[in-house]
């Protein structure tokens, strides 16, 4: 399902978006610091180097740790979808890694009514075609 605004890759995030187009959720990993990071950056946020940075595929499974509901976005492109949910999910294998995302149903539709938001519930990544040829990760309840 199309999204009104689609992220624009930069040199640091291009591998992430390429992996999304292949149905994989990857995050950066610094082998020197033994830590993952997201969003992608040119260098590790801890050690400041980039030559230890690689990419690791994740399970895409995550837990909901918070949410908000947007009733009046300052971005007019989102107005037709209002109100909509914004959830924060923490990766199951590394809860320090969070994604701000939509919560979608089985059909990739952004949930727009206020459901019982089950904080702590497990969800799984789904890749949604935000525009032709551009897949983005969103999450649905597992
Ligand atoms: Zn590092």
The model carries a pTM of 0.89
Residue 5 Cα, ligand 1 centroid: separation in angstroms? 32
Q: Hey, CA dihedral for 12, 13, 18, 19, is it positive or negative?
A: positive
CATH class of 59-142: mainly beta
Q: What is the pLDDT of residues 25-46, one digit of tens each?
A: 999 999 999 999 999 999 999 9
Identify the pLDDT of residue 60. 97
Residue 34 Cα, ligand 1 centroid: separation in angstroms? 7
Residue 35 Cα, ligand 1 centroid: separation in angstroms? 7
How many alpha carbons fall within 13 Å on the CB side of residue 3?
A: 23
Residue 92 Cα, ligand 1 centroid: separation in angstroms? 21
Identify the pLDDT of residue 96. 96
Identify the pLDDT of residue 114. 56
Cβ-proximal residues to 100 (8 Å cutoff; 6+ apart), any chain:
86, 87, 88
Residue 28 Cα, ligand 1 centroid: separation in angstroms? 10
Q: How far is CA 128 from CA 50, 101, 102, 138, 142, in A?
A: 30, 12, 11, 7, 16
Query: Could you give the CA distance from residue 142 to residue 123 in angstroms, rounded to a whole number?
Result: 4
Q: What is the pLDDT of residues 65-80, one digit of tens each?
A: 998 888 898 989 888 8
Identify the pLDDT of residue 112. 61
36 close to 95: Cβ distance less than 8 angstroms:
no
φ/ψ (deg, to 5) at 63:
-120, 140
Low-confidence spans in the chain with pLDDT less than 50? none
Domain extent listing, the chain: 9-57, 59-142
Identify the pLDDT of residue 105. 74
φ/ψ (deg, to 5) at 133:
80, 5
């Amino acid at each position: 399902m199309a999204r009104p605004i689609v992220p624009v890759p930069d040199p640091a995030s291009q591998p992430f978006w390429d992996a999304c187009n292949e149905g994989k959720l990857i995050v950066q990993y610094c082998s020197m610091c033994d830590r993952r990071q997201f969003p992608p950056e040119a260098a590790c946020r801890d050690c400041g180097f980039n030559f230890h940075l690689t990419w690791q595929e994740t399970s895409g499974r995550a837990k909901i740790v918070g949410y908000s509901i947007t009733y009046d976005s300052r971005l007019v492109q989102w107005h037709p979808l209002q109100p909509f949910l914004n959830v924060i999910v923490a990766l199951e294998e590394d809860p320090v890694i969070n994604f701000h995302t939509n919560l979608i149903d089985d059909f990739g539709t952004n949930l727009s009514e206020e459901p019982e938001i089950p904080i702590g519930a497990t969800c799984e990544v789904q890749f949604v075609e935000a525009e032709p040829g551009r897949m983005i990760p969103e999450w649905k309840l597992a």
